[in-house]
Amino acid sequence: MVYFTQIRPTEHYKSEHERNVPWHEVIGIILTTKNPRKKGNKFEIEKDNYYILFKIENNVLYVINAKKNEK
């Protein structure tokens, strides 16, 4: 379980991924996932054909990457 008090997008997410995965989708997936997978100092979620990569610094969750897997 990870703890955070805020969720913010990184500039990379805004410029590269926001068009494909809207912010409300990212928030919904993060808040409904109980155990994200740890990947080094970052975390990843694969759920409902979405992939989200984020990090937590100073109790703030920063969304780095969000992609929709096309199947």
Give the domain CATH number at 22.
3.30.2310.20
Within a domain: 1 = no
Decide if 55 contacts 8 (C-beta within 8 A). Answer: no
The per-residue pLDDT for range 4-55, each reduced to its tens digit, is: 999 999 999 999 999 999 999 999 999 999 999 999 999 999 998 999 999 9
pLDDT at residue 69, rounded to an integer: 86
Within a domain: 51 = yes
Number of domains composing the chain: 1
Within a domain: 25 = yes
- The Cα-based distances of 21 to 9, 15, 63, 65 in angstroms read 12, 12, 12, 9
Decide if 56 contacts 4 (C-beta within 8 A). Answer: yes
